[in-house]
Each structure stands twice: as structure tokens, then as C-alpha cells.
Amino acid sequence: MVAVSAINAYLPVMIQRYIDNYLAVGNATMELTIRISLAYLGFVILKLILVYLKDYTFKMASEQTVGSMRNRIYHKVVNLGMRYFDQTPTGSVVSRVTNDTETIKEFWNVFLTFVDGLLNAISIGIAMFALNARLAWIFMAFIPIVIVLMYIYQKYSTIIYGRMREALSQVNAKLSESITGMSIIQHFHQEERMKQEFDVVNQEYVSARISMFRMNALLLMPAVNLIEAVALFIVLWVFGMQFLDMTATDVGVVYAFTSYSKSFFHPIGSMLDSLSVFQDGLVSGSRVMDVLNRDDDAPQAHEGATGEITDGKIEIKNLSFSYDGVNDVLHDVSITANPGETIALVGQTGSGKSSIINVLMRFYDFQKGEILLDGQSIRTIPVKRLRERMGLVLQDSFMFFGNIADNIRLHGNYADAAVESAAQFVNADGFITDLEGGYDAKVIEGGSTFSTGEKQLLSFSRTILRDPKILILDEATANIDTETEKKIQQGLQNMRKGRTTIIIAHRLSTIRDADRIYVLRHGRIIEEGNHDSLIAEGGIYHDMYQLQTFQEKGEEDGE
Ligand SMILES: Nc1ncnc2c1ncn2[C@@H]1O[C@H](COP(=O)(O)OP(=O)(O)OP(=O)(O)O)[C@@H](O)[C@H]1O
């Protein structure tokens, strides 16, 4: 860059010397003219090669920077606590990982333009002073005006670029919300409303971009061109005033200054231009840094923790927990499960059953109380190890793009035979072998070509393959019809053997054999005991059970 700007400053001097020393005084010969032309051409070619090298190196560096930035933010995102995802729309996360990092790439170009512009201005400044200090001062006098222009631009563009980024993020958020909820949108005829809402955010984005163009169109090149023209006008005017005592040698200087006026102000114009990208990059950068600097990572064990789950004893003592740090959703909850026991959590919707699991799986950190696993605090067990030893099956099982075997194996190091025997163990083998391609059958993201029950069977296989010590079934059989459920009950019994199991179920008939049942209401445990003792107690559980058996009986009679 230094060499390029030196060449830029030197080329007009070459011509100026040729004009003033040879052409104007009648000394120019053919040989000299050819020599100077070739030298000029040589410098231009050298400059082009250097420009190519410079651009290539910068582009490469910028691509690599963004590549690694994207990686860093993705790594950060997958390690963030669930709280972040509760509060941030998916589209907005996507926007940070893709669009925002992409904009940061432009930062490199801005840097390039800035250093380029600065070096050019310095080398041309030096050349101008060397040629004619008085005229050079005229050019310098315009620099404060340019600085004021930059200041004004900076002030307005920050606002507009912030608006633009935010609007784009909203567009992404709306889009991803619509795609995720498409079946509900179509079912409830929400298409028009979604279109209108999308229109609003899209229009906001368009209008932010238009504001930006309006500002750029006014403040960028036109302003710089005007300054350039005025500077040139003054230079020529000063020359005109001195016309009478001007010697022939000044003609080359006029040429040099005319060409400097372009190359002095144009880089400044590009610097201004790149200020817009700079603003954009600044806004994007701060959005990316926002994510990178977040300290609400997923809960971690204490440093150097080496705890291990061996027997599967769970003791939850006086646990209180809130999602937002303000309103507790669990109050003073105490639960014990001895190794190999099955305990059940029941209660109304929203009573806090899944929240207990969320804390136990370390998706969220808890505020008060203690959780002991095999007598050690849950915080002393590395989270990765903890989750390997605790198998969680949810009502909705997520499937990844790939095939059936991959979805069971989840890229763990398990042989095909182990995958198949895990599927057989939970009776998932039957439906898998019926598929075209069997274990190699394709699965699309989300697994939407499979029934919910089938996905749940795959999820059972996934869990059992990892041979966890503790099994957590959160409404795991809610989507399986009673008949299929009966079929896989044997599989479930097999799964529970030798493992501590926590079951959350609304269908109380499925948890009758649990060693202990905890009844929750508004985040508190209000009853506890086994099925028979709770029935005998005649409390809430008793009523819930009566109601359900009554309903089930009614359904059967109805049939
Ligand atoms: N991610 C979250 N952020 C904030 N509040 C939440 C979150 N998840 C659940 N809650 C709130 O915590 C309370 C307990 O919810 P939880 O999911 O534990 O209930 P549940 O008993 O499992 O209900 P269900 O039977 O419907 O699954 C509810 O009031 C719910 O609104």
C-alpha cells in the first residue's frame, strides 16, 4: 500500500518534469519521450501488480476472519444457557451468525480503504508541498470541512444503520417463526395476518435502507466532488491571478495539481463512503460481541470437577427455582429416588414438573436448595458426564437431517449391531425395518415424515443405546396410542431395570407401579407416597385418579 501510494504521488511529478523541463522549453526529443513513456508504463504495471497483491491478501484475510468469527459465535451459541433461547427469537440468532458476521467482513475493506486513503493523502500532500507550498495549503484548508462532513455522517449513519440491522433481524425472526409454525398458521387461517406482519417488518427494513441511500447520496460523493471542484477552482484562480509573472515552468505544476486534486479528494470520498460500511460493521460487530460476551452460558460444573454418577441416587433438597430470576416456579421442592427406584411426578399443567427436569438436566441453574447425585452436589459433576448418565426422553423428539441409524447413534461411536439391538430393545425395530432402506432410510430435519410415536420410539432407542444410569421420561409415551404403548411397555420395563427412573405422566394408569409418586401444585409438592397410600389418603391424587378412571371407563363403554 505504501508503494502504491508513493507511485500514485510520483506519476504526476514525472509528467510535470517532462512538461516543465523538456516540453515547455523545447528540449523534448523522441528518445527522451519514449524513455519517459516506458518508465511511466512500467510504474503503472508495477502499481497494478501491487494493487492485485494487496486486494487478494486483504480479501483472503477478510474471508478467513469472518469464517473464524462465524465459528466462534456458533460455538458460543451452542454453549449458551436455555435462558438465552427463551428470550431470543430463532431468526435473530440466525441473523447474528450469518448476516452480522458477513457485514463484519466489510470491516477489512474499510480498513483497506482507510489506510489506503490516508497513505495516498500523505504521499500526495508531501508531493504537493514539494511542488508548490502555497497551492498545497489551499488543499489542506479543505481538510477541516471534510472532517466536519465525516462527523455529521458518522452521527446520522449510526442511527440509520442500527435501524437497518434491527429491521433485518426482525425480518429473519418473522420468517423463522412462520416456517416453524406453518401448520398452525395454515390450520388457523393466519396467513393474512402473518403476511401483514411480515409486510410491516419488511417495509421497515426497506425504509431504513432507503434512508441510508438518501443520506449516502447526499453526503458522500456529491459533497466530496463539490469540495474537489471548489479546491480546483481556487487553485486555477490563484494561477490566473499570477498569470502575468508566471514562468513557463509552472505549466507542469498546473497539470500536477489538477491530477492531484482528483487523487487527493477521491480517496477521502472513498473513506467517507466506507464510513457507511464502517457504521454497518460497527453495529453488526456490537451485535456479535453482545452474544460473544454473554455470561449466561449453560450451567457448568465447578472447575476441575470430577464427580460421577455410579448408583443413580437422586436427592433434591428444598429446591427453589425461577426462570427469570424473579418469580419462583418451584418452591422448596424435596424429592428422593434411591438407586433402581421409579418415582413419578404428577400434577396439573404448569405445576412445575418439567422445570424439575430442566434443573436436574442442568439446562438451567437453580437458585436455592441442593441437588445431590450419589451423595455429591450436582455442581461437582461435569455437565457432559452428567447428561451421558441421565437419559432424557421428551414428548417431542427432535430428529436431525441424516438417516435413521445416525439419528439413533447421534454420531457417537456405536457399532451398527449396537444401534440395532437398542432399537430392538425398545420395540422400534419393527417399524424401522419396514421402512425403505431400513436403518439407512432418510430423515429430514425435524423428522416430519415420521409420526410422533415413531419419533418417540427412535428417541427411546437413542437413549437406551447410551446406557444411562438414570432415566427420565417426560410425557414420553403421551403420543403413543394405548395399544402401541402396551406393546412397548415391555421395552420400557426393560429400560427401567437397574436404573433410577423419573416419570412424568398425565395418564396416571401408567405410573401406578411407581415406588413413590409426588403430586405438584403451583410449584410445590403437596402429596407424596405410593399409589395405594395416596388413594387411601383421599387427597388430590385420589380425585385425579378417580376422574381419569371414570373418564377412561366412559370411553371404553362408549366404544
Ligand atoms: N422457559 C421458561 N421460561 C419462563 N417460564 C417458564 C419456562 N418454562 C416453563 N415456565 C413456567 O414455569 C411454570 C412451570 O412449568 P413446567 O413446564 O415446569 O410445568 P409442567 O408441570 O411440566 O407442565 P406440563 O404438564 O404442561 O408440561 C409454568 O408457569 C410455566 O409458565
For 413-471, the DSSP string reads S--HHHHHHHHHHTT-HHHHHHSTTGGG-EE-GGGTTS-HHHHHHHHHHHHHHT--SEE
Count of C-beta atoms within a 10 Å radius of residue 348: 14
**Cα 355 to ligand 1 centroid, rounded to whole Å:** 6
For 37-57, the DSSP string reads HHHHHHHHHHHHHHHHHHHHH
pLDDT digits (tens, 9 = 90+) for 352-403: 999 999 999 988 888 899 999 999 999 999 988 898 889 888 877 788 888 8
519 CB near ligand 1 (under 6 Å): no
User: Which helix (H) or strand (E) is 337 found in, with range?
Assistant: strand 328-337
Contact in structure between 399 and 458 (CB atoms under 8 Å): yes
Contact in structure between 101 and 95 (CB atoms under 8 Å): no
**Cα 366 to ligand 1 centroid, rounded to whole Å:** 15
**CA gap 325, 444 in Å, rounded:** 37
Binned at pLDDT 50, 70 and 90, residue 247 comes out as low
Closest C-alpha among 461, 468, 422, 460 to residue 310: 468
In the DSSP assignment, the letter for residue 21 is I
Helix axis angle, 143-180 to 191-219, nearest 10°: 170
**Cα 456 to ligand 1 centroid, rounded to whole Å:** 21
In terms of pLDDT, which residue wins out, 54 or 549? 54
Task: Report CA Rg, the chain.
Answer: 36
Cell of 498: 437397574
**CA gap 505, 386 in Å, rounded:** 23
Q: What is the pLDDT of residue 6?
A: 92
**CA gap 492, 463 in Å, rounded:** 11
Closest C-alpha among 189, 237, 201 to residue 91: 201
Domains of the chain and any CATH numbers? 2-292 (1.20.1560.10), 314-558 (3.40.50.300)
State the SS3 of 297-332. Answer: ECCCCCCCCCCCCCCCCEEEEEEEEECCCCCEEEEE
What three-state secondary structure class fits 60? helix
- In this predicted structure, which of 112-121, 192-201, 322-331 has the lowest mean pLDDT? 112-121
Q: Position 272: which residue type?
A: L
Q: What is the pLDDT of residue 475?
A: 81
| Model confidence, pTM | 0.69
**Cα 129 to ligand 1 centroid, rounded to whole Å:** 74
**Cα 547 to ligand 1 centroid, rounded to whole Å:** 24
Q: How many CA atoms lie within 13 A of 504 on its CB side?
A: 22
Mutate to test the pocket of ligand 1, among 88, 316, 322, 323 (most ligand atoms within 8 A of CB): 323
Q: Is the pLDDT of residue 324 over 70?
A: yes
Count of C-beta atoms within a 10 Å radius of residue 215: 18
Contact in structure between 503 and 514 (CB atoms under 8 Å): yes
What three-state secondary structure class fits 294? coil
Burial of 532 (0-12, 13-18, 19+ CB in 10 A): exposed
329 CB near ligand 1 (under 6 Å): yes
Contact in structure between 218 and 275 (CB atoms under 8 Å): no
Contact in structure between 280 and 103 (CB atoms under 8 Å): yes
353 CB near ligand 1 (under 6 Å): yes
349 CB near ligand 1 (under 6 Å): yes
pLDDT digits (tens, 9 = 90+) for 274-294: 776 776 777 788 888 888 888
Q: What is the pLDDT of residue 156?
A: 81
**CA gap 285, 99 in Å, rounded:** 11
Q: Is the pLDDT of residue 120 over 70?
A: yes
Partners of 442 in the beta sheet? Answer: 403
What three-state secondary structure class fits 361? coil
Q: Across the chain, which distance is largest between two alpha carbons, in Å?
A: 123
**CA gap 356, 127 in Å, rounded:** 75
Q: Is the pLDDT of residue 159 over 80?
A: yes
Mutate to test the pocket of ligand 1, among 329, 360, 502, 520 (most ligand atoms within 8 A of CB): 329
Closest C-alpha among 513, 101, 137 to residue 289: 101
ipTM of this complex prediction, to 2 decimal places? 0.94
232-260 average pLDDT score: 73
pLDDT digits (tens, 9 = 90+) for 461-485: 888 888 899 999 888 777 677 776 7
Q: How many CA atoms lie within 13 A of 425 on its CB side?
A: 23
CB crowding 418-448: b at 16 or more within 10 Å, else e: ebbebbbbbbbbebbeebeeebebebeeebe
What three-state secondary structure class fits 400? coil
Work out whether strand 516-521 and strand 342-347 pair parallel, antiparallel, or are unpaired: parallel
Q: Position 549: which residue type?
A: T
Q: What is the mean pLDDT of the chain?
A: 85
Q: Is the pLDDT of residue 248 over 50?
A: no
**Cα 329 to ligand 1 centroid, rounded to whole Å:** 8
227: Cβ contacts below 8 Å, ≥ 6 apart: 142, 145, 146, 265
**Which residue carries 395476518 as its cell?**
193
Most confident of the following: 94-108, 206-220, 487-501, 512-526 = 512-526
Q: Position 188: which residue type?
A: F
Q: Is the pLDDT of residue 7 over 90?
A: yes
The residue whose C-alpha atom lies closest to atom 26 belonging to ligand 1 is 349
Contact in structure between 202 and 171 (CB atoms under 8 Å): yes
Cell of 360: 436436574
pLDDT digits (tens, 9 = 90+) for 19-52: 888 887 888 888 999 999 999 999 999 999 999 9
User: Which helix (H) or strand (E) is 127 found in, with range?
Assistant: helix 101-131
Contact in structure between 500 and 312 (CB atoms under 8 Å): yes
Count of C-beta atoms within a 10 Å radius of residue 156: 15
Closest C-alpha among 122, 131, 113 to residue 8: 122
